[in-house]
Chain A
């Protein structure tokens, strides 16, 4: 810039009039040339900077810039040629050291030369489009030393040999290595890449190709991973020691490719030590190592994920379809939860909570849980087990944790409506038998279900709770109004008024209640209908329970906790000590299967046999006789007989529930079809099926065949019609 400015003024002419000494330039150059010699000979401290600078300045000022520049090139070149010869002569291990020492010298000299030629660098070099002195010095070094035919290959081989020696465990002079690489870097990215990086990467690839082959033959998967990890760290550390960080990523890529990517499948599937074994044995460290290493190569994680998924599906499938294992529903669900916990832990500890792995886990669970059509029932039974009173002492937090986990499984269910059906049944049993452990826990689960599936899903369940509360109030009202007529010794009655529809439908089977009870019931009925006109009450005797006070032969008193049916049977023995099956059946009018079950639990269970049966046998026959067992003893004052515990459904019951579920789905599918057609007006069959499936999948997965049937039914009822031209299209009829 200043040069240009100066020229604008053209003041030189009048100031520096020059009578040129023809030998001036030659003489001045000699001084500078001598100085350069001296600099290379380490005699710089005897030179005068001021003088040299002034001379160089004057040469440029008097248009001898070209001479100065070319003189520099010639002098430096010849000097470097000498150096080159000296380096070539260096023997074996001293080669690199000699090269490095000469390089240090050259750099120092170059620095000084540049300083005294600073003025030329600033004015002459840019205007004459020459290479600046520093770059010139580096280029000359490159061309005369590093790339001289006798040095180039030797340098490369020496460097690579040192790397190789270090890889095989020898200690090398890293400082020297670092300096030489630093030199190559200073000579420009091109030199660094061609003379070091590229051959370095090629040799490394060969080295690791051989080594990984060797390792994979003799190591198990975990060991191999450790070795690969160590090699990777070594290489990263090596390049940083060599000050070759620029190649860090590339050498890592080489190791990753040779040691991991090329052996990925083999590693994952390695027998007895591969991924599956690590998963089985919860080897968090190994898994974490594998995750981190595979994460570095393309497709690495999906290789892990695929194997994990297929293994999960396989074991999950075995778990849910093994008839042995689905015998106990609670254990069945517990196994699922354990499995889920195990993999959750693996993903969080070893797979850094990778979202794609979580999705794979969820997908697998969704896949195999639904392989067993009884999963919804079992999950509900599991909840029942956890929420039922008196089984085990668990803190509220623990229950919450378990419920949260169950909700996780619930989310995987495709047939959520089936779960709802069972849940309703089990909840009803818990509520009516007063076996629910904690209102809070019950409600908490309902809230969870509500957030998951919406208001509709739980409205009936909530209705059940409302009924329970209202019934309490009703009973208080009843006893308040009856206080005058109630006398001591009369049985006390607790009635739960259930709203039809909210509760699981039960075939309304009645039985003949004992007269004592019957009277109270009638009074309640009168009271209730008096306060709520226009309602109908029917007694669900199959769902009740009773506490009886009984005195046995030697005066031992017990309180018997029995079902309503059992109460009816036992009351008969107040008037006689012996009754035949037929007589009991006639007197109570209890349906035969229920009656048999009741009698069995009264007469055939050891420790609870308040009745005696003749002949003694396990099963109840129609010609059996029953006696009051006055020799009955029990350690407990309260004796609980034949609990109405929720149990796995028997085959016919299952069929029935299934049928009911299918029945319930029909209106839902129809409603979905109508909703869709109302907004679309015209739609073809396939699209309707897709949309209906989408709408309903939060509750269940509708069968396309069923959807088709529903469409046909809607056409019959003239909600829809087929298009006259295109028979595949349906039209909505408003």
Chain B
């Protein structure tokens, strides 16, 4: 329906998975690879205060032309994709639902990005 809206809200997320070294400042972290995904900023913002502020608070990511970089732990890539899945569809994949470890990962990531509905969902599933 809302074509214009789609154009405005369509954003690229560049995922920069890296080694588990989040205790080090950025420059010391080794980026393993880059993945690019298309997302709707409106949908993400509606579920996550993190994304809401990311797209609106006036820093560089607010610029619609800017490619948004998310640096995450390599082991969290699956969890992030699951979380995005949840944000769009309101549920997790059946493989995640069956995996205790993945569920915990998704929940911790939800906590970081403040997706309250997903935290609750994970607690339910656990």
Contact = CB atoms under 8 A, between A and B. Distances in A.
Interface of A: 2-3, 5-6, 9, 11, 15-16, 18-21, 24, 27-28, 31, 44-55, 57-58, 62, 108, 111-112, 115-116, 118-119, 122
Interface stretch (B4-12, B33-41, B68-76, B81-89): B68-76
A2 B60 contact: no
Interface in B90-126: 104-105, 107-108, 110-112, 114, 116, 119, 123, 126
A356 to B, nearest CB: 59
9 contacts: A2-B111, A5-B123, A16-B22, A18-B23, A19-B23, A48-B60, A50-B68, A62-B23, A118-B114
Interface of B: 22-26, 49-50, 53-54, 57-63, 68-71, 104-105, 107-108, 110-112, 114, 116, 119, 123, 126
Contact of A118 (B49, B62, B63, B110): B49
B120 to A, nearest CB: 8
B24 A24 contact: yes
Q: Chain A: interface secondary structure?
A: helix
A49 B61 CA distance: 7
A115 B53 contact: yes
Nearest to A27: B25
A115 B58 CA distance: 10
B119 A49 contact: no
A15 B108 CA distance: 10
Nearest to B63: A45
Contacts of B53: 49, 53, 115, 118
Contacts of B49: 118
A533 to B, nearest CB: 105
Contact of B57 (A5, A27, A31, A115): A115
B25 A45 contact: no
Contacts of B114: 118-119, 122
B107 A6 contact: yes
A116 B54 CA distance: 9
B123 A118 contact: no
Given A46-B60, A111-B57, A20 B23 contact: yes
Given A50-B69, A108-B58, 17 more contacts: A2-B110, A2-B111, A18-B23, A24-B25, A28-B25, A45-B59, A45-B62, A49-B59, A51-B71, A52-B59, A53-B54, A55-B25, A58-B22, A115-B53, A118-B49, A118-B114, A119-B114
Given A118-B49, A118-B53, A9 B23 contact: no
Q: Chain B: interface secondary structure?
A: helix
Contact of A45 (B60, B104, B116): B60
A48 B67 CA distance: 11
B54 A9 contact: no
Contacts of A31: 25
Nearest to B107: A6
A54 B71 contact: yes
Instruction: Among B22, B23, B68, B71, find the residue whose CB has the most chain A CB atoms closer than 10 A.
Output: B23
The 6 A-B pairs of least Cβ separation, nearest first, read A49-B59, A115-B53, A115-B57, A47-B59, A2-B119, A27-B25
Contacts of A58: 22-23
A119 B71 contact: no
Contact of B69 (A21, A27, A48): A48
A118 B114 CA distance: 9
Contacts of A50: 54, 61, 68-71
A579 B58 CA distance: 128
A185 B70 CA distance: 39
A112 B59 contact: yes
A44 B22 contact: no
A435 B110 CA distance: 102
